[in-house]
Amino acid sequence: MAEAIQKKLQAELEKYQQLQKDVSKSMSARQKLEAQLTENNIVKEELALLDIQNTVYKLIGPVLVKQDLDEAKATVSKRLEYINGEIQRYETLLKEMERKSEQHREVLSSLQQEYQRAQGQAVGKV
Amino acid sequence: MCVSDTLQKMHVHIYRQCISVIITVNYSCIVARKQSLFQHMLSTLPKCIEQAKAYSTVVTVGSLHAVKLLYVKVVKDCRSQFEHWKKVENDYESLQERLRTLPDKLSYDIMVPFGPLAFMPGKLVHTNELTVLLGDNWFAKCSAKQADALVEHRKKHVKNTLDDLQKVMKNFQNRADFTDDLEKLTGDTGDFVDIREEVINEEEVTKAKHRLAHKANSKPKQEYLLDLEEDKEKKEGDEEGTTGVLSEEELWARLDELERQEELQDERYRLDSTDTNGEDTTSSSEEEKEADGGSDVQVNGHQKENGWVPTSITSQMNGTNGSHPEDEEEEDCDEEAGNGLPTIYFSHTAEFKKVRINTGKNTTLKFSERNEQKAQAKRKKKSGKSNGHSPHESYKITSPADIYRVFVDLVNGEPIPRKSILKSRSRENSVCSDTSESSTADFEERRAAFGRSWSHDDATHSDTSDGITEEESPTGTSPHTNGCFEAFTSTVIEKDPLPCSIPHLTIAPPALPTIPERKLEEVGPEAPQEPPKWMSKFKATRLHQK
């Protein structure tokens, strides 16, 4: 009886650990996105400071490609929107994972209790 | 149980992961170009702040110390980041300087880096044309002045992040300090002293609002802990929430336990003190000491005084002066529950402020605890003493009122205040006794009248004492033959000038009715017998009367 519970406990624990890893991965991805968000915001502001006379280049691989100022501004805005969308997506994903991990935690605690009880009984029997 | 360990490890693991993320980002920034370095740091900083918040969520089971360590860690991290950003700001400053001076010349002769190890002489031309990295692989060709403006704009961002870091640092520093204090309070004695008051007589509940008991007063600190837990992000919050709640419960349990211990200790002390007081009441050789001169009394008084001074000092130190217990009918239990703290046991008697000194026909001496004194009077009658031994008594005089309380005559077994304190006891009942004897009958009604009028007049004193005095004065009149006096801390209307300085102030517990019963011989032993812990004179009296 105790062994069965222990096995169940182990399985549950592994699942929980996996879930936690996923959570951390999503969290780091979200962090990266946030970094990009701030960066692009600054770029947007600085582009606003420039005038049409300044040539804007985009680094694509090893090449600096000339861009139009307005085009650059539009591109940056679009990128910002994209980043925001991604962040939202990750947010929902994280919430979901958090909920699942919570469930797992509850299961784990109940299993743990069962296991302890079983152990107690086993000790009593012995 | 391995599971709980695993869970704990997991939390630690995630915590570590968070840190490692930050660290990797930091390290990567160091090797990157300045621009991207700035970008990276700027972008990771909000996350770092969130991480800092997340740190507060990873609360390891139970101990305050662990929490404090976390806070300290966060503060350290913040500080290192702060250093870093400060450096960035300085770099930008120097860059701006360079930008300002660069267009001064058309070209500069410089040593151009040629690969990683070599330089070669060259010229720096087009000094006003700069290609600026705006971020995210965007470049722009600008003049020096425009670049200057861009740098200025970036510096603004850096300043904002620095301010945020400062705030976070301060916040967590405060938290760390607070957990420190909390730890100290619950553990060590520190400079805190617990002041406890046992409420023995439930009828003596006053009208004044009493403060909440220990536990309630310690709640604010508990609430703080609750707030900390509420701050958590709910990612790992629940697990830690439960453990945090458990730790709080543990704290409560510990507080209860310690409180019980304190009470046990107190019981022990009380038993000891009642023993010593019991001796005083039962001894009956006081009369023999009647003939002793003032010198003896003085000596004893001095001894008494010396013995009591330290305790009075301690009592004063703690703000609950035994001389004015009437004034402080509310508990001052702001301190945390006295778990292991030096405790001062404070107790009230019902002796309130309303006292009029009657040392003759002109003033009255009132006590509020009439019932008690009635009992005392009865006891005295039984013991059949009629001596006035107040100078020999070992009472603690901590207020002028005590003087009048201490120096009373015993006429027919009842304490009667004396007209003049200096008058020697050896004259026995003759000292102003004619005044007191003659006025015994109307003494009481005068006293009662005074009491009532006085209680009406004196609005400044607490309502409680007012109420109780008024209650007791009508009840006390009939059964009382004489001598229920109250401690007096207000105006004294005396026709005869009394000596201001009494060289042999004997320090004695209050409750005059018992004073005459005290023997001189007890004066000596009482001085050394003085309990190590400070006991309020009222409590001592009460115990003595028991």
The number of domains in chain A is 1
A104 lies in a domain? yes
One pLDDT digit (tens) per residue for chain B, 546 residues? 444 454 444 444 434 443 333 333 333 333 334 444 445 555 555 555 555 555 544 444 457 778 888 888 888 999 999 999 999 999 999 999 999 999 999 999 999 999 999 999 999 999 999 999 998 899 999 999 999 999 999 999 999 999 999 998 888 888 888 888 887 777 665 566 778 888 766 655 556 665 655 555 555 454 444 444 444 444 444 444 444 455 677 888 888 888 888 888 888 877 766 554 444 444 444 444 443 443 443 434 344 444 343 343 333 344 334 344 444 343 333 344 444 556 777 776 655 555 555 555 554 445 444 555 565 556 555 554 444 444 444 567 788 888 777 777 666 666 666 666 666 554 544 444 444 444 444 444 444 444 444 444 444 444 444 434 444 444 444 444 444 555 666 666 666 554 444 444 444 444 444 444 444 444 444 444 444 568 788 888 888 887
**DSSP one-letter code for B336:** P
Backbone angles phi, psi at A60, to 5 degrees: -115, 100
A18 lies in a domain? yes
Of all residues in chain B, the one with the smallest CA distance to A119 is B1
A27 lies in a domain? yes
pTM of the model as a whole: 0.41
A123 lies in a domain? no
pLDDT digits (tens, 9 = 90+) for B230-262: 444 444 444 444 444 556 778 888 888 888 888
pLDDT of residue B320: 39
Q: Annotate B437-489 with DSSP letters as a single string.
A: HHTHHHHHHHHHHHHHHHHHH--SS-HHHHHHHHHHHHHHHTT--S--B----
pLDDT of residue B51: 57
Q: Does B241 touch chain A (CB under 8 A)?
A: no
A46 lies in a domain? yes
Q: Which residues contact B106 (CB under 8 A, 6 or more apart)?
A: B125, B127
What whole-number distance in Å separates Cα of residue A69 and Cα of residue B135? 15
pLDDT digits (tens, 9 = 90+) for B268-280: 877 766 554 444 4
Q: Does B131 touch chain A (CB under 8 A)?
A: yes
Which whole-number Å values give the CA distances from B230 to B224, B237, B248, in the listed order? 10, 8, 14
Q: With beta carbons under 8 A apart, name residues in chain A contacting B13.
A: 20
Q: Does A28 touch chain B (CB under 8 A)?
A: yes
Q: Does A56 touch chain B (CB under 8 A)?
A: yes
pLDDT of residue A51: 87
Q: Which residues contact B514 (CB under 8 A, 6 or more apart)?
A: B280, B281, B376, B380, B541, B544, B545
- What ranges make up the beta strands (E) of B193-261? 194-197
B194-197 vs B343-346, strand pairing mode:
parallel
Interface contact B1-A116, CB threshold 8 A: yes
Q: Does A46 touch chain B (CB under 8 A)?
A: yes
Tokens for B263, please give them.
């009470």
pLDDT of residue B86: 95
| Residue B315 · residue B321 · CB < 8 Å | yes
**How far does CA B527 lie from the centroid of its chain?**
30
A124 lies in a domain? no
What whole-number distance in Å separates Cα of residue A53 and Cα of residue A56? 9
pLDDT of residue B528: 44
Interface contact B235-A112, CB threshold 8 A: no
A126 lies in a domain? no
Interface contact A39-B17, CB threshold 8 A: no
| Residues found in chain A | 126
More confident residue, B518 or A8: A8
pLDDT of residue B439: 44
pLDDT of residue B231: 45
pLDDT digits (tens, 9 = 90+) for A78-111: 999 999 999 999 999 999 999 999 998 998 888 8
Q: What's A64's domain CATH number?
A: 1.10.287.370
Domain that holds residue A28: 1-116
pLDDT of residue B431: 45
How crowded is residue B2: how many other Cβ atoms within 10 Å of its Cβ?
Answer: 12
pLDDT of residue B536: 82
SS3 assignment, position A58: strand
Q: Does B285 touch chain A (CB under 8 A)?
A: no
Interface test with A, best of B128, B134, B158 (most A CBs within 10 A): B134
pLDDT of residue B396: 74
Half-sphere exposure of B157 (CA within 13 A, CB side): 22
A122 lies in a domain? no
Residue given tokens 């009122």 in the structure block: B401
What whole-number distance in Å separates Cα of residue B419 and Cα of residue B327? 26
pLDDT of residue B270: 76
Of all residues in chain B, the one with the smallest CA distance to A35 is B43
pLDDT of residue A81: 95
| Residue A22 · residue A117 · CB < 8 Å | no
Run of H or E residues at B41: helix B34-57
Q: Which residues contact B452 (CB under 8 A, 6 or more apart)?
A: B470, B473, B474
